[in-house]
A and B are shown apart, each in its own frame.
Chain A
């Protein structure tokens, strides 16, 4: 089945530094990647949608210059939190879409295992 690898699983960084989170689709080509943020005991909030080779589309209220998303290949998308601050501490989850349309067998949205970011 479709597997998405997300790294790192946990990261602690100092305030003002940048952190990169990687999301790889291991056995399929991901035409679209989604990046979510989840606060404790809350729902997943979509931050941005990225399609391979094009600029990401950010949700309202998400700072594109702070959360840089790169989707340079069909198997890799990265989220870079720039100049991180304690309020950026959260759980970040990626989700990859296999493509091929809804009616294709085994289409789907596969989630990574998430990254817990702590900014100190």
Chain B
């Protein structure tokens, strides 16, 4: 079974600084997808970024980027120029390739952004 591990229950960052959230996963599949979701206090799940395992290039979305290390099964999220609106719970998620397959979520990291 696939597992996703987030070892940082809480993280803090100063506004405008950079923070990295860690995620590791375990799978025997070779083709899969990895995601970072943001859940603000409204509890609406928002997709931040996604990475296809078959792509070597790390995904980027504006201030958000990932460090995908397939051999190490590591998938960290870097948030640059942190903003107050980035404060939320962040979940790392895994899904094996194939439409309709379920997402497996990590336990989450609560990110606080301080002035």
Contacts and interface: CB of A to CB of B under 8 A. Distances in A.
Interface of A: 31-32, 34, 38, 41-44, 46, 49, 51, 91, 93, 95, 97, 99-102, 107-109, 111, 113-114
Q: Is the interface of B mostly helix, strand, loop or mixed?
A: loop
B105 interface: yes
B105 A44 contact: yes
A101 B45 contact: no
Indicate the member of B45, B105, B110 with the most A CB atoms within 10 Å.
B45
A114 B44 contact: yes
Contacts of A109: 95, 103
Contact of B107 (A42, A99, A102, A113): A42
A14 B103 CA distance: 32
A75 to B, nearest CB: 16
Interface string B35-53: 0000000111101000000
A30 to B, nearest CB: 10
Interface of B: 33, 42-45, 47, 89, 91, 95, 97-100, 102-108, 110
Contact of A111 (B45, B100, B106, B110): B45
Contacts of A91: 43
12 contacts: A43-B91, A44-B91, A44-B103, A44-B105, A46-B104, A51-B100, A93-B43, A97-B99, A99-B99, A100-B99, A111-B44, A113-B43
Contacts of B47: 108
Given A43-B108, A44-B105, A102-B33, A113 B44 contact: yes
Contact of A31 (B95, B98, B100): B100
A97 B100 contact: yes
Contacts of A93: 43, 45
A105 B100 CA distance: 15
B10 to A, nearest CB: 10
A102 B47 CA distance: 16
A45 to B, nearest CB: 8
A49 B33 contact: no
B97 to A, nearest CB: 6
A101 B99 contact: yes
A44 B35 CA distance: 14
